Amino acid sequence: MSLALPILDDQPQRPTFARGPRSLDAVKLLRISLTDRCNLRCLYCMPDEGMTFAPSDDVLSADHVVAVAAAARSAGVTHFKLTGGEPTLRTDLEDIVRRLAALKPVELSMTTNGLKLGRGGLAQRLAHAGLDRVTVSLDALDEPTFAQVTGGRGFKLADVWRGLDAAQAAGLGRLKLNVVVIGGVNNDQVAQFAALTHTRPWTVRFIEYMPLGESHLTHRGADAFTVDNADIRAAITAEHGPLEPLTRDDEPGVGPAEIYRLRVNGAPAPGRLGFISAMSQPFCETCNRLRLTATGQLRACLFDGGEVDLMPTLRTTDPRDLASNPSALQALMATCVSQKPEVHSGRGNRAMSQLGG
Ligand code: SAM
Ligand code: SF4
């Protein structure tokens, strides 16, 4: 397993960009974190103990979420992604989905751990409210590894499968599965995950673990847990044969994954494989996103750099005025994007649960 990651070099050599990703025109996706709370404690996302969450008074209201999304939409943002923490913990999720769908984005999607999708008809209700698609995070295909990766919170793998089935039955788009590969924990399951695409029209995406914030893994010498996606591709090829590269044209969303397909009995498999290689092959020069944290900060980068606080503006302006005059929020968005680093640092100051992935 190669762990020689270019991003960890002292002097990474990357293309420089003067505008491109630093222009608001380049932003196509707003990732909206609805809460920093979660019902799981994934090893790569949160520490075992001592996790502190934002007081509820500091978390964006539905009105504020909609105001920021509307400003982004009129600045040319086409895609919204709901995330967290765990977005399904928000009791006003359906209402938020309905109001964001009314802004007529090209796509409104959500990333979730899937546990609640299969309960109380949630997947169906969200589809009804206007959600187009979900991505479900799942890092293990057996119960002991699932319990290990998710921090032993008592949930079962079957709860996630029930959520996936419900999402599919509700017509929530072509499903994507996010798999964070962790060296020594679940890297022996990548071929099994890839085999899901033999029978299902899903995109299974392998994500290189990124050392962000304080988590179980960062507390244990994070670098040792990142597995280079080239090694994952090699393991899949050894088990299932060659990977056929595909263009992104037919892939939902505007994500950074490189897309491939396997063959099954000589025919193209119905599903696809995606590889998100932020550590071994940073794609900063093609970045097309902004992130809104649950407490109202805009972030240009997952790692360090580019944070602009919207709260002073949101707290002091009537939401109706924000809706009729989005220029103040758009100026803050442009400032945030202008702060994108040339290439991301090797270590991020905030956890994914705070940034929304
Ligand atoms: N709770 C939801 C979920 O797990 O899908 C949404 C929020 S989660 C922060 C968004 C995505 O970030 C998930 O797919 C998760 O696996 C991924 N993620 C979290 N921490 C990560 C890390 N340190 N490195 C790579 N991916 C990470
Ligand atoms: Fe929760 Fe998602 Fe973080 Fe796991 S990755 S702890 S499900 S926010």
* Centre of ligand 1 from the C-alpha of residue 250, in Å: 24
> What is the distance between the alpha carbons of residues 236 and 326, in angstroms, rounded to a whole number?
48
* Centre of ligand 1 from the C-alpha of residue 319, in Å: 30
Q: Is residue 88 part of a domain?
A: yes
Is 138 touching ligand 2 by the criterion CB < 6 Å?
A: no
pTM value > 0.85: yes
Ligand nearest to the CA of 87: 1
Confidence at residue 223, expressed as pLDDT on a 0 to 100 scale: 62
With bands split at pLDDT 50, 70 and 90, how would you rate the model's confidence at 308?
Answer: very high
Q: Is residue 299 part of a domain?
A: yes
Lowest model confidence (mean pLDDT) among 52-66, 151-165, 175-189, 281-295: 281-295
Ligand 2 mutation pick, 43, 113, 148, 177, max ligand atoms within 8 A of CB: 113
Q: Is residue 144 part of a domain?
A: yes
> What is the distance between the alpha carbons of residues 80 and 105, in angstroms, rounded to a whole number?
7
Q: Is residue 183 part of a domain?
A: no
Q: Is residue 37 part of a domain?
A: yes
Arithmetic mean of pLDDT, 309-325:
90
With bands split at pLDDT 50, 70 and 90, how would you rate the model's confidence at 216?
Answer: confident
* Centre of ligand 1 from the C-alpha of residue 178, in Å: 8
Ligand 1 pocket, Cβ-based, cut-off 6 angstroms: 38, 44-45, 83-84, 86, 111-113, 137, 178, 180, 207, 209-210, 212, 352-353, 356-357
Confidence at residue 225, expressed as pLDDT on a 0 to 100 scale: 86
**For residue 170, what are the CA distances in angstroms to 122, 129, 130, 133, 160?**
9, 12, 11, 10, 15
Mean pLDDT over each residue of the chain, to the nearest integer: 89
Arithmetic mean of pLDDT, 123-131:
98
Arithmetic mean of pLDDT, 35-57:
91
CB 180 within 8 A of CB 139: yes
Instruction: Look up the CATH number of the domain holding residue 123.
Output: 3.20.20.70
Is 36 touching ligand 2 by the criterion CB < 6 Å?
A: no
Ligand nearest to the CA of 138: 1
Within 10 angstroms of residue 154's Cβ, the number of other Cβ atoms is 8
Q: Is residue 301 part of a domain?
A: yes
CB 135 within 8 A of CB 175: yes
Q: Is residue 18 part of a domain?
A: no
Arithmetic mean of pLDDT, 10-15:
46
- Exposed, middle or buried by CB within 10 Å (0-12, 13-18, 19+), for 3? middle
State the total domains in the chain. Answer: 1
CB 118 within 8 A of CB 163: yes
CB 229 within 8 A of CB 305: no
CB 339 within 8 A of CB 275: no
Q: Which domain holds residue 158?
A: 24-174+276-355
1 has a pLDDT exceeding 80: no
Q: Is residue 242 part of a domain?
A: no
